[in-house]
Amino acid sequence: MAEEEGIVQPVKGKSSPDLGPWVVMAATRTDLTDLCRMLGREPTDGRRLYNSRLLLKAEEPALIGPMVGAPYAVMVLETLIAWGARQFVFVGWCGTISPEISVGDLLLPDAALIDEGTSRHYLSKVGTGSDRSRPSAAMQEAIAGALKQAGGAAKKGMVWSTDAVFRETPSKVLRFGGLGAVAVEMEASALFTVGRFRGVEVGAVLVVSDDLSAATWRHGFRDPEFAQGRQTLCKGVAALCRTM
């Protein structure tokens, strides 16, 4: 039986841009601004797409952001797919739930545990009952290579994707850590699921911004390690953009 499509679908209208195959999706305005600076673009240029800014430059990947949460990130992803994009790099922040991952570390998710609601609307095609989704291996390899050239080595591990920042309870940290997750964030599992559903490649790289591993919250937003990790992440992704 063919997959039933939604009644509302993203469309490519007369005013929609012609996208190249590659798009970088930045979760935060901070990273979007730094990527623009490194790539010689103005973050106020481009056009609106929902609550994000889409920045285009000939023969270079499009940049878009900010975006927070699985439902919104997927709405943006679906629209970009409808406009012709086929390869995506998601750049975000995460909280460590493992003593082996520290604030400022770069993390390449090799899988994401689904604890958000968006993925479940796509699972009939990519695996009913699945509790995790995976990125494109080719995209993760490309990101890892670019980060290495920028002087940063990323760790690999599974993340836990949640919709509820303020419901990251001690018992959930233990539960998802016991399943193998090393960090928590909000978008990766849904983006990976939809990438597989739509037949496009989605990769992700995250910087650790805070620590929940001891069942207490320690933010690292002002830590020099976080600032350094974020800069290395942006330098690596900018370098990747120049080679795409």
CA distance 151 to 42: 26
Which domain CATH number covers 74? 3.40.50.1580
1 domain residue, yes or no: no
The confidence score (pLDDT) of residue 128 equals 46
212 domain residue, yes or no: yes
122 domain residue, yes or no: yes
Total-model pTM: 0.96
SS3 content of the chain, % helix, strand, coil (to 5): 35, 30, 35
Contact partners, residue 244, CB within 8 Å, separation at least 6: 22, 60, 61, 87
CB count in 10 Å sphere of residue 234: 24
Query: pLDDT of 9-40, one tens digit each?
Result: 998 988 999 899 999 999 999 999 999 999 99
Whether residue 43 contacts residue 159, with contact meaning beta carbons closer than 8 Å, is answered with: no
Displacement of CA 203 from its chain's centroid (Å): 7
Q: How many residues does the chain have?
A: 244
Residue 129 clears pLDDT 80, i.e. is over it: no
% of the chain with per-residue pLDDT over 70:
97
14 domain residue, yes or no: no
Torsion, Cα of 137, 141, 147, 151 (10° steps): 140
CA distance 62 to 46: 10
86 domain residue, yes or no: yes
**Count of domains forming the chain:** 1
Look over the chain and give the mean of its residue pLDDT values, rounded to a whole number: 94
Enter the tokens of residue 114.
């689904």
CA distance 214 to 170: 9
Q: Which of 163, 107, 110, 161 is nearest to 134 (CA)?
A: 110
Residue 229, domain extent: 22-243
CA distance 91 to 70: 14
Q: Is the dihedral of CA 41, 239, 236, 48 positive or negative?
A: positive
